[in-house]
């Protein structure tokens, strides 16, 4: 029987590179344990993690992305108080910043199901179900990962981006949900490399200045737990 417990850690606001290195450490630990189990014919349980974090202004480019989708020079990046990284997830370019809830599930999918497409659809469904609690209809867009509003219309806009990496059925990276995001920072990229599509933030859609992010996190975790049939165990918050 797979381990359905997920260790939950809220990192608060944390530098992207530090968070990425922490993810890599946890990810590699799970992968190494799986290799050890196989080599030594062991059956040690592999852990699962979910990190929640908010980053200072940062742009990240996935391994299949194009630099043409970054519209700022190094000098302009500094002027905006932002940084840029090329990283090892799938997908193209995206933005992370204050007011955005970022989730990094580091799951051994062999504890749940071995289907990466199902995994992506479940991550989308977590966001869709959360949006529904605010009276907003989130949908999928054919051929494009993430969660969209008014998909298939001239007003299509993405409210949550997805980008993951998986090795030996262990996942990392994850989702970025715009809750109270500064939309101006998206003007400096072609988000996810998709031209002619806008982005959205929950507070703007609701017509309010600020949405309670702790409440949103609570709803996200509820739906994540239900979909993955998992139990969260909270870890101490990292300073």
The response to whether 96 counts as a known ligand-binding position is yes
CA pair distance 172, 106, nearest whole angstrom: 5
Long-range contacts of 200-204 (CB under 8 A, 24+ apart): 200/149, 200/157, 200/158, 200/159, 201/99, 201/159, 202/131, 202/134, 202/136, 202/159, 202/177, 202/178, 203/99, 203/179
The response to whether 32 counts as a known ligand-binding position is no
The response to whether 194 counts as a known ligand-binding position is no
Phi, psi dihedral angles at 133 (to 5 degrees): -70, -15
Instruction: Find, among 170, 190, 198, the residue nearest to 67 by Cα.
Output: 190
The response to whether 168 counts as a known ligand-binding position is no
Instruction: Find, among 174, 151, 152, 171, the residue nearest to 220 by Cα.
Output: 174
Going by C-beta distance under 8 Å and a sequence separation of 6 or more, which residues neighbour residue 113?
119
**Cβ-contact 197, 157 below 8 angstroms:** yes
Task: Give the active site residue among 6, 61, 192, 216.
Answer: 192
Instruction: Find, among 174, 185, 211, the residue nearest to 72 by Cα.
Output: 185
Query: Residue 123: how many CB atoms within 10 A of its CB?
Result: 24
The response to whether 62 counts as a known ligand-binding position is no
**Cβ-contact 146, 160 below 8 angstroms:** yes
CA pair distance 169, 191, nearest whole angstrom: 27
The response to whether 92 counts as a known ligand-binding position is yes
| DSSP-assigned letter for residue 155 | T
The response to whether 176 counts as a known ligand-binding position is yes
The response to whether 93 counts as a known ligand-binding position is yes
Query: Catalytic annotation on 160?
Result: no
The response to whether 193 counts as a known ligand-binding position is no
The response to whether 177 counts as a known ligand-binding position is no
The response to whether 91 counts as a known ligand-binding position is yes
The response to whether 143 counts as a known ligand-binding position is no
Catalytic residues: 192
Binding residues: 89-96, 161-163, 174-176
Binding residues for substrate: 89-96, 161-163, 174-176
């Amino acid at each position: 029987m797979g381990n359905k417990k997920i260790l939950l850690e809220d990192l608060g606001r944390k530098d992207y590179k530090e968070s990425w290195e922490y993810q890599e450490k946890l990810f590699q630990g799970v992968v190494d344990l799986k290799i050890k189990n196989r080599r030594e014919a062991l059956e040690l349980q592999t852990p699962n993690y979910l990190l929640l974090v908010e980053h200072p202004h940062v742009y990240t480019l996935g391994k299949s992305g194009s630099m043409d989708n970054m519209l700022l020079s190094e000098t302009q990046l500094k002027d905006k108080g932002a940084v840029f990284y090329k990283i090892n997830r799938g997908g193209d370019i995206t933005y992370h910043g204050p007011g955005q809830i970022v989730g990094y599930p580091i799951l051994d999918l062999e504890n749940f199901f071995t289907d990466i497409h199902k995994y992506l659809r479940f991550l989308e469904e977590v966001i869709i179900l959360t949006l529904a609690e605010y009276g907003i209809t989130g949908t999928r867009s054919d051929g494009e990962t993430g969660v969209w509003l008014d998909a298939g219309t001239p007003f299509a806009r993405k409210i949550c981006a997805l980008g993951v990496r998986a090795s030996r059925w262990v996942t990392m990276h994850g989702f970025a949900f715009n809750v109270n995001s500064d939309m101006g920072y998206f003007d400096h990229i072609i988000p996810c490399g998709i031209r002619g599509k806008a982005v959205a933030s929950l507070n703007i859609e609701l017509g309010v200045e600020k949405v309670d992010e702790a409440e949103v996190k609570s709803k996200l975790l509820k739906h994540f737990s239900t979909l993955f049939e998992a139990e969260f165990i909270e870890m101490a918050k990292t300073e």
